[in-house]
Amino acid sequence: MVSEVTLVRIQSGSGLMFGSFLGLHLLNHSFCHFGMLASNSFMTGARLYYQKTPVELVCVFGAVTVHSAVGLLRIWRRQKRKKRFEQKFYSELLKKSKNNSNLINPTLELSLHRVAGLVLLLFVGGHIYVTRINPTYFHYVPDYGFPGFSLETWPVLFYPYYIIFGASGAYHFSVGVAKSIPIVKRMFSGLFQRFQKNKSIEKFDDTVPSSSSRSISRAAKVGIVFSLIIASSIFAIGGIYYPIEIEDRDLIIKVQERIIPKIFQTWRK
């Protein structure tokens, strides 16, 4: 059985690889506050990196697949450990002190990180297909007119979707990078050395966080601010802050018609 330490290392490494794309993608969103020309120009430059075939296969598709699979495995293991822990210690701990429930329940920061990760896991596959794979059938490379069209056509659906999806990505990225860099750094610096058993438990088993972990970290604060910026950028993409012009509207409609049921194709009415 693969150890928890190994799983955390794999998840951290794959997370940083995917983060090299996600960080640029989210930063690109923030440029929408300065106009579509600024955001589309930044996107053109960023794509020189993350749409290179080796990078896209390894750091985007491959990394997000590995990161998600390991995350699901850790969730399953964590629930098993938590159940055993509760059965053995929970009743006794609560008799001693109410504060000891912190030993079982994750911090708010960690809970938000996990929830944000689950939101990404829920939507990322469909998002990749709709925005990256499906447009290739029409040799179309989407710019910000593509999500702008969705926000204009189905605002009730896509404003909540993009805000929740984008804000979750910003928070998960910010906290995840801060947690992963030290782990990957230790892994490479001690490549030929084993972690001491007691240190491995302390560093990697976040099922039982220490009481000192209750304070909000700087990474979490950055993540919250970044999430608000990304949420605000959705209104810019939707034309709330300034008027936008969707130049490839006819082509976008063709792309959408391939995957959207006719009942939702409101432009036909």
CB 216 within 8 A of CB 109: yes
Q: Give pLDDT, residue 211.
A: 39
| 143, pLDDT greater than 80 | yes
Tens digit of pLDDT for each residue in 168-190? 999 999 999 999 999 998 888 76
Tens digit of pLDDT for each residue in 46-67? 999 999 999 999 999 999 999 9
| 241, pLDDT greater than 60 | yes
Q: What is the mean pLDDT of residues 65-73?
A: 95
pLDDT grade for 102, boundaries at 50, 70 and 90: very low
* The amino acid at 40: N
Task: Give, rounded to a whole angstrom, the gap between the first and last alpha carbons of the chain.
Answer: 57
Q: Which residues contact 158 (CB under 8 A, 6 or more apart)?
A: 147, 150, 151
Domains of the chain, by residue range, sit at 4-268
pLDDT grade for 264, boundaries at 50, 70 and 90: confident
| 85, pLDDT greater than 80 | no
Tens digit of pLDDT for each residue in 149-168? 999 999 999 999 999 999 99
Matching CATH number, 4-268, of 3.30.70, 3.40.50, 1.10.760, 1.20.1300: 1.20.1300
Alpha-carbon span 64 to 14, nearest angstrom: 7
Q: What is the mean pLDDT of residues 192-197?
A: 52
